[in-house]
Amino acid sequence: MFNFSGKSVIITGGSKGVGFGISEAFLAAGADVFICGRSEPETLPQANGKQAVFYSVDVRQPEASQTLIDEVVKQTGRLDVLINNAGGSPPVPAADASPRLTESIIRLNLIAPMILAQQAYHAMRERGGSIINIASISGERPSPGTAAYGAAKAGLINATRSLAQEWGADKVRVNAIIAGMIKTEASHDHYGGEAGIRLIEESLPMKRMAVPEDIAHACLFLADAHAGYISGAALEVYGGGEPPSFLKLAEEAFQLGQ
């Protein structure tokens, strides 16, 4: 369905979880895929007889991310797609978060993607390109326990729309994906094991969490030439969203009153 043969794609955090799934999808579509992380993975994404190329890069360091982009352009002569996927946050009450932790979370989830996008823009501006920021539902609703993360993702959604307007004339499109809960290898620790996952999925409209392939397919769509007039969008990939908790509580209260 999608053909990215001859295209160069950078995916930050592409060695695990959602990033791994995105990397496999672009490899399957024929792209030359370059991924980065702080430590080299035991297994690299592979598909369609191709394998991702790994660079050890801390995306929070602008000099390191610029070197990554320069190396990809040197190897392939071009950069067509950047997917800012690296991110995350440990759970911590806002009252207990140290200034250093708060700054680190915002640097990873907002400042690094913005700087990478700027660096990619300069590599793309001659022929155009696509930048996709992986945001989160946490950027659209309260994010208790991860307040700095939610604030950073909200900022990333806003930055996506601003950059799309600034860079539209150069045919550099900038979009975001607002991801909901995703089932990855880390889900058991994050969502309370199989029992927790079952309870959460039962509460969702589609009765399942997203899987990395769901996010990957959305990335392929946004990066494809057929989406050439889509820029500044924040595509919600969360299966209908999270139902308000008061509805479940009200239902349970009603049943107790019968």
Distance CA 174, CA 234 (A): 10
DSSP H or E run through 215: helix 212-223
Is the residue at 120 inside a domain?
Answer: yes
Q: Out of 45-54, 111-120, 249-258, pick the least confident.
A: 249-258
Is the residue at 82 inside a domain?
Answer: yes
Given the residues 55, 149, 191, 238, the one annotated as active site:
149
The Cα-based distances of 2 to 69, 127, 133, 150, 216 in angstroms read: 24, 20, 20, 32, 12
Q: Is residue 127 helix, strand or coil?
A: coil
Q: Is residue 186 helix, strand or coil?
A: coil
191 catalytic? Reply is no
At 143-194, the pLDDT tens digits run: 999 999 999 999 999 999 999 999 999 999 999 999 998 888 777 777 778 8
Is the residue at 3 inside a domain?
Answer: no
At 192-217, the pLDDT tens digits run: 788 888 888 888 888 888 899 999 99
DSSP for 18-39 reads HHHHHHHHHHHTT-EEEEEESS
Tally of domains within the chain: 1
Is the residue at 2 inside a domain?
Answer: no
Is the residue at 1 inside a domain?
Answer: no
Kindly report the CATH number assigned to the domain that includes residue 68.
3.40.50.720
47 is in which domain, residue-wise? 8-256
Count of residues in the chain: 258
Is the residue at 163 inside a domain?
Answer: yes
Q: Considering the entire predicted model, what is its pTM?
A: 0.93
